[in-house]
Amino acid sequence: MGRRPRIWYPGAVYHITNRGNGRANIFVEGDDRRLFLNKLSSIMKEHGIKLNAYCLMTNHYHLLLETGNVHIAESMRMLHTFYSKQYHLKYGTCGQLFQERYRSVLVQKENYLLEVSRYIHLTVRAGLVTLPEHYPWSSFRNYVNGDFGLIDPELILASFALDVTRAREAYRRFVYAKLADENYSLEGLISEDEILGSPEFVRETVALYG
């Protein structure tokens, strides 16, 4: 059976993840992560993408983004192709750097955008840092410090307050509410169509774009 085509439409929000082939590392040092983010930034400008959250671990990454008018598959192809080539040139390696296919879960903005952002920002709980904002390769520190950089915070912060400072603090408390919950996961809520949303949202989206 062939692969199910990815559902896409302009303005769609995705939680995108990928990891190294065979779970191998894809980021060795900070410069690797900077290269990845710089290329992502240029693609975002070219394709009209808004980045809501991210976390770059050692052997995988998480992105939460809203697409523009270019299919997400083209954006990710450009990112992976560029980064893989540069990685192999730098480290003298060859072959497939990433797993064969990245995962993209379509996210309903109204019901699940905040939850996915919280999940991404809590990825670093596995003994990497004491507090999530101490991890340098996650956008949570941008939300806490107010220096947004690549991040477009509007969708997330608007859910908490009109005042940005108050909204940032409210969002920090929202994320911390699940900090000690070792069982916190969204996996069981994702439909077989790789959609995270209400039953009505899943049905309507599949009917229109599936």
Query: Which pLDDT does position 127 carry in this prediction?
Result: 65
d(CA 5, CA 209): 10
Say what the pLDDT of residue 104 is: 95
Q: What is the 3-state secondary structure (H, E, C) of 9-78?
A: CCCCEEEEEEEEHHHCCCCCCHHHHHHHHHHHHHHHHHHCCEEEEEEECCCEEEEEEECCCCCHHHHHHH
Instruction: Give pLDDT tens digits for 19-64.
Output: 999 999 999 999 999 999 999 999 999 999 999 999 999 999 999 9
Burial class (CB in 10 A: 0-12, 13-18, 19+), 41: middle
Q: For residue range 103-157, what is the model confidence (pLDDT) as tens digits? A: 999 999 999 999 999 999 999 986 678 899 999 999 999 999 999 999 999 999 9
* pLDDT at residue 142, rounded to an integer: 96
β 103-107/195-196 pair status = parallel
Confidence of residue 183 (pLDDT cuts 50, 70, 90): confident
User: Would you say how long the chain is, in residues?
Assistant: 210
**CA dihedral sign, ordered 152, 156, 158, 162:** negative
Write down the mean pLDDT value for the chain.
93
When pLDDT is cut at 50, 70 and 90, the band that residue 3 belongs to is low
What the chain holds in terms of domains, given with CATH numbers, is: 13-196 (3.30.70.1290)
Residue 2 pLDDT more than 60? no
Q: Which of 149, 146, 152, 160 is nearest to 114 (CA)?
A: 160
Q: Is 136 helix (H, G, I), strand (E, B) or coil?
A: coil
> CA-CA distance, 147 to 186, in Å (whole number)?
28
